[in-house]
Amino acid sequence: MCGIVGYIGNRNSQPILLEGLKKLEYRGYDSAGVAVFTEQGLKIQKAKGRLAVLESQLVAAPLDGTIGIGHTRWATHGKPSDVNSHPHTDNSMKFSVVHNGIIENYMTLKEELTAKGHRFVSETDTEVISHLIADLYQGDIVRAVQQAVQRMTGAFALGVLTEYEPDRLVAVRLASPLIIGVGEGENFIGSDIPAILEYTRQVYILNDGEMAVLTRDGVELMTLEGNFISRELFHVDWDLITAEKAGFDHFMLKEIYEQPKAYKDTMGSRISPDGTRVVLPEVGMSAETIRGIRNVHIVACGTAYHAGLIGKSVIEKLARIPVETDVASEYRYRAPIITPETLVIVVSQSGETADTLAALREAKRCGARVLAITNVVGSSVAREADDVIVTWAGPEIAVASTKAYTSQLVAFYLFGLYLAQTLESQTTEYIREVIAALRLLPEQVEYLLGQSETVKEYAKHIAQHQSLFFIGRGMDYAVALEGSLKLKEISYIHSEAYAAGELKHGTLALIEEGIPVIALATQEALLEKTISNIKEVKARGGRVFGLALSGNEELGKAVDEVYTVPRTHPLLTAALSVVPLQLLAYYTSLARGNDVDKPRNLAKSVTVE
């Protein structure tokens, strides 16, 4: 998704803007640009492609000035190109705008402005904003931005500069994230905290419908109607090192290796010292409220949705409450039956995914209680939900989610156990057994990370193929979906995940000599059935790589290669079996020479519907 930075102070802004944009690269982008107020007026440089392209342009023709805005663009309206890149300007070139989000009524505005004589050069919705502000400007940029925003529908965050008022930088937030960094004699804007963390730890987090006016010496916060707001500064207590590669070749590999810590931190003090109970003080539901839950809806996108599929099995098995899991972009349009007795659980690493946020709002509108599982404290999802379970995975930078997913699983295990102990739907002995297994997961993941050689070899093999399959039953199927998504997004190999028993109803026709099939068989109760499905694949020439629990030697005889996963409680196998699949995606992407951390076409935080 697009990234915004802005600076006003006494230093040269160009290097600060570029550094800030580098810290936002993880969000995914296809072009970049900066606008700086120089002695010759407002000057813009922008370029399609990686930041390095823009950087080399700026080396050749630097922009000197102490106030500027910068942007990384992830194309929505109009293809990636120099002209469609931000910042955008108006015909007088006196106004400049960077934008994250979508202006839904931009065509109507464009027609109106065209009729008034404005000429447009790009295909973007953002260019319309700069023209609209220019059109409304009557000597006060704050007023012009407020009036422009009233005319715009959609979701957006903006950074705005005008040559007429070179000592003010205006920022707006409406449903796309934006933070303000407060320094001494200098102030900043950013789409995310890492963009400004090198310069200050004092931050205001803008809420929806708020704006900020930055000068060198201060920041004024106000509503879009102009009412001033007073707010405490938020002190950021984590450092950039946590968000750097720490010696790993890629963020994704670092994040895979951080999983034992993420598991431990997410469990943290949420398990009683004697290992008998789960303690979740952040969940403010009384026992009576919990007893009143008739059904649960889990809503999320992509990888978080896959965590939700495991969440469904876990909650149904532990609490015996019916659960539905939905893709967030589908949920609110299928008129789901949501009542005040429905608990809606939204899962989002970033806490800013537009589809998930829209689902949360729909659930609240229908009177449901909403629990969020998110990795970002202070994110929109966290702020709008009734209860929040934070996954303490730490910043996740690689586009392909790994440690956030597994921490979401841990959050579901904890919440499922919490429901079970409140509802007394499981015996204390059973709950103790699951907790004991949960506590062993971090060291079992350490063990798996030490076994990456087999995976590396297998990755070289599948890197040669154009298509492959993942199969599994029960929770193995949910993990197969995640393994397949991970592989697709960073290796660009076509892959499909199937419920193993479903293959013979059509997809088996695609199995031919040598096609790789990755079979997950960690659900012991379903082992015999899965082996039968593996045999169906083998009989048609498929080459099967099996994932088994240690001790299940019979699987080894049915497949071509086998990788064993340590034994754990049957409810928890996903937290282990996904690790070799993450490594497989990583090493396959590497073998194909892809950009592992920034796969093509994808963004880390998807703030458009």
530 binds ligand F6R (CB under 6 A): no
303 binds ligand F6R (CB under 6 A): yes
Q: Residues 23, 46, 94, 604: which is the catalytic one?
A: 604
Per residue, what are the HEC states of 505-559? Answer: HCHHHHCCCCCEEEEEECCHHHHHHHHHHHHHHHHCCCEEEEEEECCCHHHHHHC
Minimal CB distance to ligand F6R: which residue? 302
When binding is defined by CB under 6 A, the residue of 489, 582, 585, 587 that contacts ligand F6R is 489
Nearer to ligand F6R, 130 or 303 (CB): 303
Nearer to ligand F6R, 349 or 530 (CB): 349
The count of other CB atoms within 10 Å of the CB of residue 508 is 17
Nearer to ligand F6R, 9 or 599 (CB): 599
Strands 3-8 and 67-73, bridge-based pairing: antiparallel
Nearer to ligand F6R, 26 or 106 (CB): 26
Nearer to ligand F6R, 8 or 481 (CB): 481
Which tokens belong to 338? 């949501």
| DSSP H or E segment with residue 204 | strand 202-205
Beta strands in 308-416 (DSSP E): 323-327, 342-348, 369-374, 387-390
When binding is defined by CB under 6 A, the residue of 33, 302, 311, 483 that contacts ligand F6R is 302
Q: Give the SS3 label for residue 401.
A: coil
Provide, rounded to whole angstroms, the least separation between the CB of residue 356 and ligand F6R.
5
When binding is defined by CB under 6 A, the residue of 350, 444, 484, 533 that contacts ligand F6R is 350
**Euclidean distance between CA atoms 278 and 419, whole angstroms:** 9
**Helix 452-462 vs helix 574-591: crossing angle, to nearest 10:** 50
Q: Give the SS3 label for residue 499.
A: strand
Provide, rounded to whole angstroms, the least separation between the CB of residue 338 and ligand F6R.
20
| DSSP H or E segment with residue 457 | helix 452-462
Provide, rounded to whole angstroms, the least separation between the CB of residue 162 and ligand F6R.
34
Site for ligand F6R in 170-209 (CB under 6 A): none
Nearer to ligand F6R, 110 or 306 (CB): 306
Binding part of the chain for ligand F6R, among 108-116, 125-133, 189-197, 342-350 by CB under 6 A, reads: 342-350
Cα-to-chain-centroid distance, residue 500: 29
353 binds ligand F6R (CB under 6 A): yes
606 binds ligand F6R (CB under 6 A): yes
Nearer to ligand F6R, 301 or 419 (CB): 301
**Euclidean distance between CA atoms 558 and 56, whole angstroms:** 56
Nearer to ligand F6R, 37 or 263 (CB): 263
Provide, rounded to whole angstroms, the least separation between the CB of residue 373 and ligand F6R.
9
**Euclidean distance between CA atoms 154 and 521, whole angstroms:** 46
Binding part of the chain for ligand F6R, among 148-156, 217-225, 347-355, 423-431 by CB under 6 A, reads: 347-355
Nearer to ligand F6R, 301 or 455 (CB): 301
Site for ligand F6R in 356-385 (CB under 6 A): 356
* 531: amino acid identity, one letter: I
CB 375 within 8 A of CB 350: yes
**Euclidean distance between CA atoms 538 and 131, whole angstroms:** 63
Which residues lie below 8 Å from residue 108, measured CB to CB, with a gap of 6+?
Answer: none
When binding is defined by CB under 6 A, the residue of 301, 434, 479, 493 that contacts ligand F6R is 301
Nearer to ligand F6R, 523 or 605 (CB): 605
When binding is defined by CB under 6 A, the residue of 132, 304, 390, 409 that contacts ligand F6R is 304
Site for ligand F6R in 399-418 (CB under 6 A): 400-401
Provide, rounded to whole angstroms, the least separation between the CB of residue 531 and ligand F6R.
30
**Euclidean distance between CA atoms 250 and 24, whole angstroms:** 15
How far apart, in Å, are the Cα atoms of 454 and each of 376, 450, 558?
A: 34, 10, 18
When binding is defined by CB under 6 A, the residue of 38, 191, 325, 349 that contacts ligand F6R is 349
5 binds ligand F6R (CB under 6 A): no
* 180: amino acid identity, one letter: I
Provide, rounded to whole angstroms, the least separation between the CB of residue 50 and ligand F6R.
21
Provide, rounded to whole angstroms, the least separation between the CB of residue 27 and ligand F6R.
11
Whether residue 87 is preceded by a cis peptide bond, meaning omega within 30 degrees of 0, is yes
Provide, rounded to whole angstroms, the least separation between the CB of residue 599 and ligand F6R.
9
Q: Is 604 a catalytic residue?
A: yes
When binding is defined by CB under 6 A, the residue of 66, 176, 348, 552 that contacts ligand F6R is 348
Which tokens belong to 211? 């704006």
- x/- track of binding to ligand F6R for residues 36-65 (CB under 6 A): ------------------------------
Provide, rounded to whole angstroms, the least separation between the CB of residue 302 and ligand F6R.
2
CB 434 within 8 A of CB 413: yes
316: which DSSP letter?
A: H
Beta partners for residue 327, in sequence order:
300
Total number of residues that touch ligand F6R (CB under 6 A): 14
**Burial class of 593 by CB neighbour count within 10 A (0 to 12, 13 to 18, 19+):** exposed
Provide, rounded to whole angstroms, the least separation between the CB of residue 326 and ligand F6R.
13
Which residues lie below 8 Å from residue 601, measured CB to CB, with a gap of 6+?
Answer: none
How far apart, in Å, are the Cα atoms of 552 and each of 24, 438, 453, 479?
A: 45, 21, 21, 19
Binding part of the chain for ligand F6R, among 123-131, 301-309, 361-369, 426-434 by CB under 6 A, reads: 301-309
Sheet containing 387-390: which strands, arranged edge to edge? 323-327, 295-300, 342-348, 369-374, 387-390
Provide, rounded to whole angstroms, the least separation between the CB of residue 574 and ligand F6R.
15
Nearer to ligand F6R, 522 or 605 (CB): 605
Q: Is 245 a catalytic residue?
A: no
The residues that touch ligand F6R, with contacts defined as CB under 6 A, are 301-304, 348-350, 353, 356, 400-401, 489, 605-606
Catalytic residue ranges: 2, 604
